[in-house]
Structure 1
Amino acid sequence: MYDPTRLAALVAVAEAGSITRAASRLGYTAPALSQQLAKLEREAGAALLVRHHRGTRLTAAGELLAGRARRVLDEMDQARHELARLAGLSGGRLRVGTFVTAGIHLLPPVLTAFRRAHPDVELTVTDYEPPAGVTAVAAGDVDLALTHAYEPAAADPMPSGLFSETLLVEELVLVTALGQMLSEGSGPLPVAELAGRPLISSAPEHPPRRGVERALAEAGATPAVVCESPGYALVCALVSAGLGVAVVPEMVAEMSPAPLAVRRLEPAAFRRTISVVHRGDRNTAAATTLMALLRSGFGRASAA
């Protein structure tokens, strides 16, 4: 069996017309390339090259073998590309589920890094309000999904065959309109101080928020407006307009386009955990690569 490296050397000489020029193209020294060609001639049992004052030309045997070598090398290149596609990093696709906050504020730079490294992978991003993203991974609709869970709340069991990895834990904070009395202090606000305060109740029937809503009700917060949207943009706009206060994730408060005052709560028992749900050792190479970028990107976000 012929060595592919030596076949490539023969093709390079055929195209360059000299051993010196072929060696430069392949990154060899001329003597090293000559040794490879001499070994190929021994393998072939025939003279493949004729040296002359203007360079090197191929014999009839050399031309025949070079023609076959081109086909072999082309097939090997095709095989490499096909194997890369099977690995999910050259061609193929990666389907990502996310929820709004992560999709807007955290996911884009991670996907940018992935696309820069693997431009041939087709990316699709679908919005799933948790816990629908978990269901989508279980059903095979997406390869992985960003989801969240709140504290206090009862944790939902993970479907069989799926795994959840925590990326970021953030506090829930109180947001008020600028200049309101609750915004005047600088330290954490005892949750009991919310008793009787008008509250923008954020999607009280939304499964992840039920525990938080229940705890706020126990503290005496009075629902002033029930906002049925699970998204926080409308909640923050209503708070900024002075219609009530709300308890939202810290990231939401920091990135809200509506002007808000922010205070931490005491005790700091209200949290949101952002996780990625995936298939473990059944992940594609593309999904595994994106998860590594998520760990890095979310790690920087949590440290910031």
Structure 2
Amino acid sequence: MSLTAVEQLPELDAQTLRIVGAIAEHGSITAAADALGLSQPAVSQHLRRAEQRLGLALAERIGRSVRLTEAGEVLARHARTITNAFDAAAGELAELSGLRAGRVRLAGFPTASSTVVPKLVKQLAATHPGLSVSYLEAEPPEAVEAVRSGAVDVAITFSYPGDRVDPHQESAQGLSVDSLWQDEMLVALPSSHPAAAHHRVPIDELSSETWIAGCPRCRGHLLQVTESAGFTPTIAYETDNFSAVLGMADAGIGIALVPTLALASTRVPEGIVLRPTARGDSRTIHVVTTEGASRVPAVSATLGALHSLDLARLSLEDAATPA
């Protein structure tokens, strides 16, 4: 059958199929109405309207009984299969709407993998046990691209003020970017260091220090912070491993600027102190989705769970932070 021929067919609806199927099964309009939980006049009226719309008689009244016409038999033959499919689809939509089923694909940066993501997945499992969650670890630029390409539904990302390559600007155009919270940056230095006496450390007092740098974007932020303090840092060590960063600082071979969130899954050595900077440096934690994705029940539930997490406590609640 050609597409033109299909487009010219009168529109069928699920209720007509249910009614014709019930008449075929029960033998009368009255019995069909009882089986469907409808009144007999309502079934008769719907049948008449369907016949007018289709231009075909579906049933013949013979005395007090009714008999399906050839057209009615055609519909009855397909009614069970089609209405079962409608019921199955409605059931699946109801499951999704109530989040008794569905899936969400997450992406997040490495530090989030051991802090935000476990708490998020645990909360979703408790509130929506039928929701399937998968996770991809990716740095912010790759995570943003994964949302754009459709590889993931929700990405947890971060950005630094003045970031020269901020993935939440041009590369995130057309996507939805929502800020979750500010993750304060802390200076990690030996407790014997003179700057440890400060409640907040002036960065310009650290110009002669040897520094430990992290990921490329973290290194870029360190350079931006020290540049605004009037010096270029001497960076002798580079590692993405925050346990290694703190170990090096504890050994007295360098100091570092670390995000507070990284401490939630990292043991802080007893000989290390962590101090915020005098100017209150921080990075922003974001959640990225496609525009309108919040209308998808699984995504909406995930966003709601993210916003309801006690993010202010995530950073230090598991860290053995010295006073």
Q: Secondary structure at the match of 1:189?
A: coil
More displaced stretch, 172-181 vs 274-283? 172-181
Whether the 8 Å CA contact 2:184–2:259 is kept in 1: the answer is yes
| Cα distance, 1:158 vs structure 2 | 4.3
Residue in structure 2 matching 1:169, options 171, 175, 182? 182
- Which residue of structure 2 lines up, in the alignment, with residue 290 of structure 1? 302
2:290 pairs with 1:279:
yes
Match of 2:148 in 1: 138
- Alignment root-mean-square deviation, CA: 3.6
Residue 267, structure 1, aligned to residue 291, structure 2: no
Identity %: 24
CA distance 1:79–1:163, change in 2 (3 Å): closer
Query: Which of 206, 213, 221 is the equivalent residue of 2:223?
Result: 213
Q: 1:115-172, CA deviations, whole angstroms, 9 ceiling, x for partnerless residues?
A: 2232222211110012211111111110010000012424432433211100010221
1:180 maps to 2:193: yes
CA distance in 2, matches of 1:41, 1:92: 33
Give the drift of 1:199: 0.8
- How far the C-alpha of 1:114 sits from its partner, in A, is 1.0
Separation (CA, whole Å) in 1 of partners of 2:314 and 2:265: 14
Structure 1 distance, partners of 2:297, 2:38, is: 41
The 5-angstrom pairing of residues 104-115 of structure 1 reads: 104-115=114-125
- Give the distance between the partners of 1:172 and 1:90, measured in 2 at CA: 40
Q: Do the aligned partners of 1:177 and 1:242 also contact (CA within 8 Å) in 2?
A: yes
Q: Distance in 2 between matches of 1:41 and 1:194?
A: 82
Query: Residue 226 of structure 2 aligns to which amino acid in structure 1?
Result: L
Alignment counterpart, residue 223 of structure 1, candidates 231, 234, 246 = 234
State the distance in 2 between where 1:299 and 1:215 align. 25
- Pairwise CA distance, 1:186: 3.9
Q: Which residue of 2 aligns with 1:239?
A: 249
Counterpart CA distance in 2 for 1:300 and 1:113 is 16
Q: Is 2:111 the partner of 1:98?
A: no
State the one-letter code of the partner of 2:206: L
Gaps of 5+ in 2: 1-14, 16-33, 42-80, 318-323
Deviations 1:60-94, CA, capped at 9 Å, x for gaps = xxxxxxxxxxx9x9888744431135559333321
In 1, the alpha carbon distance for the partners of 2:153 and 2:283 equals 23
Give the distance between the partners of 1:131 and 1:96, measured in 2 at CA: 14
What is the distance in 2 between the residues matched to 1:83 and 1:214? Answer: 50
Question: 1:81, 1:119 → 2: CA distance?
Answer: 17
Query: Which letter maps to 2:185?
Result: L
Is the 1:240–1:258 contact (alpha carbons within 8 Å) kept by the matching residues of 2?
A: no
Match of 2:170? 157
1:250 and 2:260 are equivalent in the alignment: yes
Q: Which moved more, 1:113-122 or 1:76-85?
A: 76-85
Give the Cα–Cα distance (whole angstroms) in 2 for the partners of residues 297 and 261 of structure 1: 27
2: CA distance, partners of 1:188 / 1:214? 18
Contact 2:264 2:314 in 1 (8 A): no
- Measured in 2, the distance between the counterparts of 1:238 and 1:295 equals 35
Contact 1:199 1:221 (8 Å CA) reproduced: no
Change (3 A) 1:162 1:293: same
Larger displacement relative to structure 2 (135-144 or 87-96): 87-96
Q: Distance in 1 between matches of 2:282 and 2:312?
A: 19
CA separation in 1, counterparts of 2:238 and 2:206?
18
Q: Taking structure 1 as the reference length, what is the TM-score of the superposition?
A: 0.67
Q: Is the 8 A contact 1:197 1:221 kept in 2?
A: no
Count of residue pairs brought into register by the alignment: 242
Paired with 1:254 and 1:129, the residues of 2 have a C-alpha distance of 19
Name the amino acid aligned to 1:297.
Answer: L
Partners of 1:294 and 1:41 in 2: CA distance = 45
